[in-house]
Amino acid sequence: MIHPTAIISPGATLGSESEIGPYCVIEDGVHLGDRCKLHSHVVIHGHTEIGDDNEFFPFAAIGLKSQDLKYAGEPTSLIVGDRNVFRENTTVHRGTTADTPTRVGSDNLFLAYSHIAHDCQVGDHVILSNNGTLAGHVRVDDHAIISGLTAVHQFCRVGAHSITGGISKIVQDIPPFTIVDGNPASVRGINQIGLQRRGFSDQDLRALRTAYKRLFLKKDINLAEAVARLDPALSQNARVGELLEFMQSSERGITR
């Protein structure tokens, strides 16, 4: 089902049962999976590999070249998984070098005007709300929610199951399982409602709340000292262990 006004390069490959709407442009080097739907005025540049059952709304621009000033014009790529929704005017850019593709997982929702810059790594079940923007080299872990008008600085990592408040400024890594808000952002608590919806046990929630109080509310000591003072029994909880591992591996510093 290809509208007669669509322009499709002979060097592009389309999966079965895909729908290409009016005035869409699919360039050389694009691979589109099965059952994808492009509504109208969608532009997909190569080299872009897109999985199955993805949906693109009008004026989405996918796989355009990196905006990084270091980009020298070499072939770079974007890899997209399955069952993603890209709403109106969403932009996703390719990587900056051949060995650093931009990657988007599966089952994500990117609302209108959201932006994924070069070299980003986005997991599964992620939501970028309207005008949520990721600068270059940002990593977003599974089930994270970036609220409207939130801007994430380059090289930051957004932890799994976290959520940002609207119009937040993210300049350091966001710990998993937390709510952050503000300009600049700070941790405001555990994302309890979101974690409950995803089936976290009461035991895990209690452990995470206790860890939050001891790590983020004691402002008179630095974070490394707070981690060192944490009760070893509490650290044995698997979810708290994930939180501590994230914090210890952070290169940019932790939002507190």
Are 16 and 33 contacting, i.e. CB atoms less than 8 angstroms apart? no
Q: Of the listed 31, 39, 47, 118, which one is catalytic?
A: 118
Phi, psi dihedral angles at 234 (to 5 degrees): -65, -35
Token digits of residue 19: 């729908």
Closest-CA residue to 110 (of 56, 166, 39): 56
Instruction: State how far the Cα of 42 lies from the Cα of 6, in Å rounded to an integer.
Output: 9
- Calpha distance 208→162 (Å, rounded): 13
Give backbone dihedrals phi and psi of 249, rounded to 5 degrees, phi first: -95, -5
Of 82, 119, 141, 173, the active-site residue reads 119
Q: Give every CB contact of residue 231 below 8 A, 6+ residues apart in sequence.
A: 214
Active site residue 33: no
Q: What's the rounded Cα separation, in Å, for the pair 51 and 84?
A: 9
The reply to whether 53 belongs to the active site is no
Helices (H), the chain: 192-197, 202-216, 223-229, 232-235, 238-249
Q: Tell me whether residue 119 is one of the annotated catalytic residues.
A: yes
Quick one: 233 exposed, middle or buried, by C-beta within 10 A (0-12, 13-18, 19+)? exposed
Catalytic choice (51, 136, 148, 159) = 136
**Is-contact 91 115, C-beta < 8 A?**
yes
Kind of pairing between the strands at 43-44 and 169-170: unpaired
Residues assigned a catalytic role: 118-119, 136
